[in-house]
Chains A and B, each alone.
Chain A
Amino acid sequence: MSLLEVRQLSMRFGGVQALERVSFTVAEGKIIGLMGANGAGKTTLFSLIAGNERPSSGEILFENQSLAGLRPDQVCRRGVARTFQVVRPFAGLTVIENVTTAALFGMRRYRDRAQARDAAAAVLQELELGDRAEALAGSLTLSGQKRLEVARALATGARLVLLDEVMAGLTPMEVEAMLLTLRTLHRTRGLTLVVIEHVMRALMQLSDEILVLHSGRLIAQGEPPAVASDPEVLRLYFGEAA
């Protein structure tokens, strides 16, 4: 069954058509990779799904219910979480306080603060941030802050997690570690993931299916090997000669 369905989604910022009639579905339990050059509309797509922006037209269904008109906090409580490409930690709070916020207010909505904190601590263990729990979030390395973004998204209890370049700027070893973490999380938690990534190899390895955006349009869609050999994709990524 499809967990997320995007229908004819368009977004215009002034004179710029950021997204143009994009449609796709995401089946439950899958990992979907989202590819495209800078400005292709990937982050805009996340912002629309998460309710940070309102689409110009089109529809987004989550569990067959429309997300139209919902605020980000309401979308989060329905079970959709996103991370930010440019990390946005609550820098003045500790790592565990950051994650506890998500546990308290996300989909799971713990009533009890001690329980929320325990849940947050468990998520930090999964993300290998357990020993940094009491550090200020602003003091983490980039790799740590990327992990914190993922930890917060998970702690909301979301069923669909939108990961926006959580591997960008990491060293190759950190990328490997993050890939391993994401695969483990996907398997143990039965999460559905939509992943934006520029590290092409990582995305190809991780995803069940790849979507390619170009100038706001969806130009290719399919299993990684098929997309990698798609003539349109090759032309855009490697130029006419390829």
Chain B
Amino acid sequence: MSPARDLMVVLALLGASAGVPFLGGDYWIGVGITAFMWVALTQSWSLLSGLSGYVSLGHVVFYGLGAYVVVASWEVLPIAVSLALAAGAAAVFAFATGMPVLRVRGPYFVILTFGVAELVKFVVMAAEAAAGNASRLILGTPEIETLFFLMLALAAAATVLAWGVRVSRLGHGLRAIREDEEAAETLGVPVARYKLLAFVLSACIPGAVGGAMALRNTYFEPLQAFDPMISFSMIAMAVIGGSDDLRGPVVGAACFVFLSEMLWANAPQLYMIILGLLLVIFVLFVPEGLCGRLFRSRGA
């Protein structure tokens, strides 16, 4: 299937789910918010890691920073402005850290991104402790329906961005970098610039998503906002859905949200075990993910 058709399919699915608030109650709206959040995060993660092969284990740092920005600017700035600021802060942070971090490859990059995210988490914790806040509560956040449509818009935006990158020169260059960085550079691909650009593009929407989730949770606590499980989940969804396929993140997020809704309340341990097992099985036997296996799409 062509990338343009993939885009239409994903956008049609997202568009169809816009009907949820008119049909279901708050429970289904909540499920929708969670699902869109994962689509937006995983789509952004895949833009970098699926295309370039630079596996980020610290993408939660952008989410956490976004949440922090929104909470810190609560009742100071209009919500729209602080969400834009959340995306901007994540992008600026990606730009500043990307230059040194993207110099290392393979497992070193994976560990370094994880380390940077943990470092930022503890810095924010220390800053909050110094300011006398263990956690922050925010009151008067938007209605759940508003947040539903906000998150839907972010999922759609992440999808369109990921599509735009995939069909562009940037996407082609990133795939070449994934396959063999030195050969790519010798053929004229500006590897350092492209990696940095992909890193920044993959950071901004998670920043806004983090901000939106702070509004949804109505409080901010660094351990939760910078929880490494969020990074792990993005990777797991991308791997299971297929990381070099626009539909992969949607399929991955749908599987996970379904599983978590089925099991989380009654058997949370079982949920984690199944999640771990799925990841192992997919990495070993279906590394191209469900979409890669089912559709045999070769991408752009």
Chain A residues at the B interface, C-beta cutoff of 8 Å: 50, 52, 71-73, 76-77, 81-82, 84, 88-94, 97, 100-102, 104-107, 109, 113, 152, 156
- Give B244's nearest chain A residue, CB to CB: A92
The answer on a CB contact under 8 Å between A72 and B175 is no
Chain A nearest Cβ from B120, distance in angstroms: 31
A105 and B188 in contact, given A90-B176, A93-B175 (Cβ under 8 angstroms)? yes
The answer on a CB contact under 8 Å between B176 and A76 is no
B191 at the interface (CB under 8 A from A): yes
B5 at the interface (CB under 8 A from A): no
When distances are taken between beta carbons in the complex, the residues of chain A under 8 Å from B190 are: 71, 73, 105
By secondary structure, the B interface counts as helix
The answer on a CB contact under 8 Å between A106 and B187 is yes
Q: Place the interface of chain B in its size category.
A: 20 to 34
When distances are taken between beta carbons in the complex, the residues of chain A under 8 Å from B298 are: 94
- Please measure, in the bound complex, the distance between the C-alpha atom of A178 and the C-alpha atom of B103, giving whole angstroms: 38
B183 at the interface (CB under 8 A from A): yes
By secondary structure, the A interface counts as mixed
Contacts across chains A and B counted by CB atoms under 8 Å: 77
Chain A nearest Cβ from B171, distance in angstroms: 10
The answer on a CB contact under 8 Å between B179 and A91 is yes
- Please measure, in the bound complex, the distance between the C-alpha atom of A109 and the C-alpha atom of B189, giving whole angstroms: 10
The answer on a CB contact under 8 Å between A113 and B188 is no
- Please measure, in the bound complex, the distance between the C-alpha atom of A102 and the C-alpha atom of B176, giving whole angstroms: 10
- Please measure, in the bound complex, the distance between the C-alpha atom of A84 and the C-alpha atom of B267, giving whole angstroms: 55
- Please measure, in the bound complex, the distance between the C-alpha atom of A152 and the C-alpha atom of B185, giving whole angstroms: 12
Highest count of chain B CB atoms <10 Å: which of A100, A105, A107, A152: A105
- Give B176's nearest chain A residue, CB to CB: A101
Which listed residue, B169, B175, B180, B186, touches A97 by the CB 8 Å rule? B175
The answer on a CB contact under 8 Å between B189 and A101 is yes
Which listed residue, A72, A84, A104, touches B172 by the CB 8 Å rule? A104
The answer on a CB contact under 8 Å between B179 and A90 is yes
A102 and B172 in contact, given A88-B180, A88-B182 (Cβ under 8 angstroms)? no
